[in-house]
């Protein structure tokens, strides 16, 4: 067995199947101890909401924590996000301008304050309105000179973030920092904000059995033999995928 870089989404991917989670956490902890495997959580949650989940589900400490859809990276117990990463995101980002433009769309309902971050503005947007609003909004914000990206997940969450920021780019930043090859990296996810994790390159990918339609559609349109669609749900699907690729 060799060390690898394990990057996983949390809600409905790592978390959501308690029994399998216990087994997966045990396996990963042992692997980290024996071989130096690195564990990274990449979530849409803010750090505050992550900490709630960590306590609730007794999650093992990650080697790095990517929160707010890739816009903040934390190492160890540090209370401040990695500066090298944050610095990269400022170019072409203007929070106030995004807020004044988005205020023109009544369909966009702001998410709680905890989820509004320096490099992330988030709304709830109903699926039936999304098809119409998203292209309009994208064009409008680009015309304003903003270098942003819209990420729509689970038929309800809309995140607006700097174009150079998503879970995939944050994963690549860590992979390069630690000098781990794409073939020794595995990413796991279930919904729209995880597409970026799978789209970076030829990292091994595990789509859990409960993956959302938006991720499945992307997967079907971009088939690749280094991506595995599991049968089992959440942590069960991850265990299945890790065995499929021979990581465990």
The two tokens of residue 1 are 């067995």
- Cβ atoms of 13 and 208 within 8 Å: the answer is yes
Report the partner that residue 62 touches, choosing among ligand GLC, Mg ion, none (CB closer than 5 to 8 A by kind): none
Question: What does residue 95 show for φ and ψ, rounded to 5 degrees?
Answer: -55, -45
To Mg ion, the closest distance from the beta carbon of 50 in angstroms equals 12
Total number of residues binding ligand GLC (CB under 6 A)?
A: 11
What is the separation of C-alpha 150 from the centre of its chain, rounded to a whole number of angstroms?
14
| Interface pick for Mg ion out of 15, 74, 191, 200 (rule CB under 5 A) | 191
Report the partner that residue 71 touches, choosing among Mg ion, ligand GLC, none (CB closer than 5 to 8 A by kind): none
Place of tokens 């119409």: 132
| Interface pick for ligand GLC out of 28, 193, 206, 236 (rule CB under 6 A) | 193
Name the residue number minimizing CB distance to ligand GLC: 44
To ligand GLC, the closest distance from the beta carbon of 2 in angstroms equals 32
Angstrom distance (rounded) from CA 123 to CA 157: 6
- DSSP assignment of 77-133 equals T-SS--HHHHHHH-TT--HHHHHHHHTT-TT-EEPPGGG-BTTBEEEE--HHHHHHH
8: contact with Mg ion by CB under 5 A:
no
Residue 220: Cβ within 10 Å count: 9
| Interface pick for ligand GLC out of 69, 170, 195, 208 (rule CB under 6 A) | 69
To ligand GLC, the closest distance from the beta carbon of 109 in angstroms equals 12
All residues at 6 or more sequence positions from 211 whose CB lies less than 8 Å from its CB, including other chains: 189, 190, 191, 219, 229
| Interface pick for ligand GLC out of 122, 165, 169, 185 (rule CB under 6 A) | 122
172: contact with Mg ion by CB under 5 A:
no
Stretch that binds ligand GLC, among 88-96, 101-109, 151-159, 238-246 (CB under 6 A): 151-159
Report the partner that residue 190 touches, choosing among ligand GLC, Mg ion, none (CB closer than 5 to 8 A by kind): Mg ion
- Cβ atoms of 67 and 193 within 8 Å: the answer is no
Stretch that binds ligand GLC, among 16-24, 44-52, 175-183, 206-214 (CB under 6 A): 44-52
């Amino acid at each position: 067995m060799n060390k690898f870089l394990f990057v996983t989404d949390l809600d409905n991917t790592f978390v959501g199947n308690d029994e399998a989670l216990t087994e997966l956490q045990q396996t990963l902890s042992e692997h980290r101890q024996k071989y130096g495997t690195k564990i990274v959580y990449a979530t849409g949650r803010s750090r505050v909401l992550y900490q709630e989940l960590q306590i609730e589900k007794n999650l093992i400490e990650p080697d790095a924590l990517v929160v707010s859809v890739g816009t903040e990276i934390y190492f160890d117990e540090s209370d401040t996000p990695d500066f090298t990463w944050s610095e990269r995101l400022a170019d072409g980002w203007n929070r106030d301008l995004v807020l004044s433009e988005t205020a023109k769309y009544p369909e966009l309902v702001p998410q709680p304050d905890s989820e509004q971050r320096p490099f992330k503005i988030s709304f709830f947007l109903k699926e039936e309105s999304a098809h119409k609003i998203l292209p309009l909004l994208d064009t409008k914000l680009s015309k304003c000179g903003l270098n942003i990206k819209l990420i729509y997940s689970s038929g309800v969450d809309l995140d607006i973030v700097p174009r150079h920021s998503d879970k995939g780019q944050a994963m690549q930043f860590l992979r390069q920092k630690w000098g781990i090859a794409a073939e020794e990296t595995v990413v796991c996810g279930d919904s729209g904000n995880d597409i970026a994790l799978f789209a970076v390159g030829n990292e091994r990918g595990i789509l859990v059995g409960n993956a959302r339609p938006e991720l499945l559609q992307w997967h079907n349109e971009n088939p690749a033999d280094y991506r595995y669609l599991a049968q089992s749900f959440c942590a069960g699907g991850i265990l299945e995928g890790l065995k499929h690729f021979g990581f465990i």
